[in-house]
């Protein structure tokens, strides 16, 4: 296993976040409202009305001659053509970025069709390109699910890493009595958490700063990526937070043993050597021995007695993503953006009957013995 602790950060890494389509734009607005620092925000859409609400972001109307500013009509082909017609304008907004996040909702017209075009332009400019997108809720219908599958298959070919957020999982956590507005707000929160978690690794200064070149090496492991966070306090906070991170709902059906690159960031007001060692033990046990692991350590007094662990595993699977809409979670997990008031209790509960012990690391087996 390649274990790397980085000691010097590249100054002024330029990060841009592009929200494509309605869901992507909503996610960007959510990030702006929550004061994510150190990044430039762009909203690209075929819907003029939606763009008018993107205060604080640079806006780009896509395919005005094609859609007349009225949207893509849930047609990904229209979204793709709209983006293709404005390639020069997209390139002008993206030039100069070291890293570009593309956020969108898969299944609609603009996000599904235009996001792969934006990603292709970003890659051509030499930027590290990471897409963080949502999959539809099951109640949004089979047609939208099918469109999402096709969009994801196209997008994964154009990015360095693709992080997918299964909205259906949020539904299973939040329950059927949750208001629609609250459900979509939680989806925005998850997208925000994923982008912030990765950008903080690069931008926030700490005792162990992560070099952007090394981040690029890990994030360039082309294919599906997984993003998880954990937060805990108390005596066993490091173990609890790391366990929550690797058990994140965002794992979906992903096996971390296949990951070829792993970023691990620890954030605390006063992290200890023991905290670092406990997190490392859990990560090293669950990922492949040949994985390239990079650790970062950030001091942040605002988290008080809590310890946060962010894990990004890349190159998990080079196959096109499969849209899973019916799988039931076997554990109570802690996805990015949810359950922020974590305690020192270890995240997740399950019975021994629900787990294949041949694939379960020691730290997980201890919790069900």
> Domain with 338 in it: what CATH number?
3.40.50.1440
Signed CA dihedral, 303, 31, 110, 138: sign only: positive
Task: Specify if 216 maps to a domain.
Answer: no
pLDDT value at position 178?
86
What does DSSP say about strands 15-20 and 2-5: parallel, antiparallel, or unpaired?
A: unpaired
CB 342 within 8 A of CB 244: yes
Higher pLDDT, 348 or 314: 314
CA distance 194 to 248: 12
Task: Specify if 215 maps to a domain.
Answer: no
Q: Are residues 175 and 250 in the same domain?
A: no
Higher pLDDT, 51 or 249: 51
Using a pLDDT cut of 70, give the percent of the chain over it. 79
Task: Specify if 295 maps to a domain.
Answer: yes
pLDDT band at 218 (very low <50, low <70, confident <90, very high): confident
pLDDT over 50 at 6, yes or no: no
Tell the burial category of 191 from Cβ atoms under 10 Å away from its Cβ (0-12, 13-18, 19+).
Answer: buried
Higher pLDDT, 347 or 94: 94
Listed range (242-246, 319-323, 329-333) with the worst mean pLDDT? 329-333
Listed range (10-14, 82-86, 273-277) with the worst mean pLDDT? 10-14
Task: Specify if 111 maps to a domain.
Answer: yes
pLDDT band at 236 (very low <50, low <70, confident <90, very high): very high
Number of domains in the chain: 2
Task: Specify if 41 maps to a domain.
Answer: yes
Highest mean pLDDT among 7-21, 90-104, 218-232, 250-264: 90-104
Q: Are residues 233 and 139 in the same domain?
A: no
| Structure confidence by residue, pLDDT tens digits, 297-312 | 888 898 999 999 988 8
Q: Are residues 319 and 356 in the same domain?
A: yes
Q: Are residues 106 and 249 in the same domain?
A: no
pLDDT over 90 at 152, yes or no: yes
Q: Are residues 169 and 286 in the same domain?
A: no
Average pLDDT over residues 248-256: 64
pLDDT value at position 11?
58
pLDDT band at 5 (very low <50, low <70, confident <90, very high): very low
Q: Are residues 129 and 177 in the same domain?
A: yes
Residue 43, SS3? strand
Q: Are residues 45 and 80 in the same domain?
A: yes
Q: Print the domain residue range for 177.
A: 12-203
CA distance 165 to 308: 20
pLDDT over 50 at 340, yes or no: no
pLDDT band at 242 (very low <50, low <70, confident <90, very high): very high
Q: Strands of 99-105's sheet, edge to edge?
A: 2-5, 292-299, 261-268, 307-317, 223-232, 161-166, 128-135, 99-105, 15-20, 39-45, 58-61
pLDDT value at position 320?
41
Task: Specify if 135 maps to a domain.
Answer: yes
Q: Are residues 164 and 248 in the same domain?
A: no
CA distance 312 to 160: 13
Q: Are residues 170 and 255 in the same domain?
A: no
pLDDT over 70 at 130, yes or no: yes
Q: Are residues 105 and 151 in the same domain?
A: yes
Task: Specify if 1 maps to a domain.
Answer: no
Higher pLDDT, 256 or 148: 148
Residue 249, SS3? helix
Taking the alpha carbons at both ends of the chain, their separation in whole angstroms is 28
Q: Are residues 257 and 155 in the same domain?
A: no
Tell the burial category of 196 from Cβ atoms under 10 Å away from its Cβ (0-12, 13-18, 19+).
Answer: buried
Task: Specify if 209 maps to a domain.
Answer: no
pLDDT band at 207 (very low <50, low <70, confident <90, very high): low
Q: Are residues 163 and 247 in the same domain?
A: no
Average pLDDT along the chain? 81
Helix extents (H) in the chain: 21-33, 48-51, 64-67, 76-85, 87-94, 110-124, 142-156, 167-174, 180-203, 212-219, 237-246, 273-286, 362-365
């Amino acid at each position: 296993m390649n274990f790397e602790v980085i000691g010097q950060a590249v100054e002024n890494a330029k990060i841009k976040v592009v929200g494509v389509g309605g869901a992507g734009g909503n996610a960007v607005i959510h990030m702006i409202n929550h004061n994510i620092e150190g990044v430039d925000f762009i909203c690209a859409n075929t819907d003029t009305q939606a763009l008018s609400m993107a205060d604080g972001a640079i806006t780009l109307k896509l395919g005005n001659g094609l859609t007349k500013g009225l949207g893509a009509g849930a047609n990904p082909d229209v979204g793709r053509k709209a983006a293709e017609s404005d390639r020069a304008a997209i390139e002008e907004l993206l030039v100069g970025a070291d890293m570009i996040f593309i956020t969108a909702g898969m299944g609609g017209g603009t996000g599904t069709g235009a996001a792969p075009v934006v990603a292709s332009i970003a890659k051509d400019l030499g930027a590290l390109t990471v897409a963080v997108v949502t999959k539809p809720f099951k109640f949004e219908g089979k047609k939208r699910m099918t469109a999402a599958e096709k969009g994801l298959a196209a997008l994964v070919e154009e990015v360095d890493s693709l992080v997918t957020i299964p909205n259906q999982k949020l539904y299973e956590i939040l329950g059927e009595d949750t208001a629609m507005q609250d459900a979509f707000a939680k989806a925005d929160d998850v997208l925000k958490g994923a982008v912030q978690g990765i950008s903080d690794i690069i931008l926030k200064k700490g005792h162990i700063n992560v070099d952007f070149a090394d981040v690029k090496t890990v994030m360039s492991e082309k294919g599906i990526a997984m993003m998880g966070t954990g937060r805990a306090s108390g005596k066993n906070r490091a173990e609890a937070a790391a366990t929550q991170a690797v058990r994140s709902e965002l794992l979906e059906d992903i096996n971390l043993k296949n990951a070829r690159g792993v970023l691990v960031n620890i954030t605390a007001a006063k992290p200890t050597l023991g905290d670092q060692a406990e997190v490392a033990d859990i990560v090293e046990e669950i990922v492949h021995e040949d994985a390239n692991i990079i650790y970062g350590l950030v001091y942040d007094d605002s988290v008080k007695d809590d310890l946060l662990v962010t894990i990004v595993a890349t190159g998990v699977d080079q196959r096109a993503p499969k849209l899973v809409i019916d799988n039931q979670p076997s554990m109570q997990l802690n996805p990015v953006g949810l359950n922020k008031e974590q305690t020192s209790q270890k995240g997740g509960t399950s019975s021994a009957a629900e787990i294949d012990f041949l694939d379960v690391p020691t730290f997980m087996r201890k919790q069900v013995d």
